[in-house]
């Protein structure tokens, strides 16, 4: 039985990587999917086609989640098209790979862009989507954080700090949006996506991860999608939590 039939999900940054995997996973459970993108129009269209091929409603919508006005317009478009929004996956993210020890290579523009997308964007989307969910008396929000938000490591200091903020934001929103809406987060470790193309020492990074991975492999977008979908479908008594998805490496 497809548990999410009749419900609609918005996946930000849904054209590629983890966003694409989550969009397809939710579609397989019967949810209609709105694939948000900022610049990756071709990839979003491809994901939308694959979602529609699963027999559920699908559309793409362009919006920069760091822009509050564009987010509000996106949610209004979703309401006009489908009349409801039940699930929000805040997956859109930004980073620039800078050695954490190099404190002066991360310029103000990159620092601000990281927070504008990762933190402001998450908040703007949650704030805009909540009234639609409240109206129907049910909603599920899943924010994509990172293990960097716990351990302070990652692609940059700004990225780690922004993901720590997403974890905190998840707790705050869980409190104020209950009981109709649950708000949780997923914190992936090393996931094989195109983001790794920006890592100068990617082989060394993989080797380090695998040396401390209890499950002996790096993660896939589908691993993250599995957890995000479970938070939407099954975990009805869980809110304000962040689930680490890193093969036990952070223990």
Question: What is the set of active-site residues?
Answer: 159
CA 199: distance to chain centroid? 21
- Phi and psi at 36, nearest 5°, equal -85, 145
Taking alpha carbons only, the member of 213, 191, 204, 203 closest to residue 22 is: 191
| CA–CA dist 200, 221 (Å, integer) | 21
Sign of the alpha-carbon dihedral angle for 172, 178, 181, 187:
positive
Cα dist from 61 to 38, 44, 45, whole Å: 9, 9, 10
Q: Judge whether 224 and 191 are in contact, CB under 8 Å.
A: yes
Which two structure tokens, joined as six digits, stand for 12?
Answer: 């930000």
């Amino acid at each position: 039985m497809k548990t999410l039939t009749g419900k609609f999900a918005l996946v930000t940054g849904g054209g590629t990587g983890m966003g694409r995997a989550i969009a397809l996973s939710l579609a397989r459970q019967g949810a209609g999917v709105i694939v948000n993108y900022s610049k990756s129009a071709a990839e979003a269209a491809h994901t939308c086609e694959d979602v529609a091929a699963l027999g559920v409603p699908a559309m793409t919508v362009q919006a920069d989640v760091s822009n509050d006005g564009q987010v509000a317009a996106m949610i209004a478009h979703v309401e006009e098209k489908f009349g409801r929004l039940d699930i929000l996956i805040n997956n859109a993210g930004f980073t620039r790979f800078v050695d954490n020890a190099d404190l002066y290579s991360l310029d103000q523009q990159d620092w601000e862009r990281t927070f504008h997308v990762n933190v402001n964007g998450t908040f703007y989307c949650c704030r805009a989507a909540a009234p639609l969910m409240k109206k129907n008396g049910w909603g599920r929000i899943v924010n994509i954080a990172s293990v960097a938000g716990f351990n302070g490591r990652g692609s940059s200091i700004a990225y780690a700090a922004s993901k720590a903020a997403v974890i905190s934001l998840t707790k705050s929103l869980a409190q104020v949006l209950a009981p109709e809406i649950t708000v949780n987060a997923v914190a992936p470790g090393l996931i094989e996506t195109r983001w790794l193309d920006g890592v100068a020492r990617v082989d060394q990074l993989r080797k380090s991860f695998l040396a401390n991975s209890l499950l002996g492999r790096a993660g896939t977008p589908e691993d993250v999608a599995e957890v995000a979908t479970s938070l939407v479908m099954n975990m009805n008594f869980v809110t304000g939590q962040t689930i680490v998805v890193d093969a036990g490496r952070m223990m």
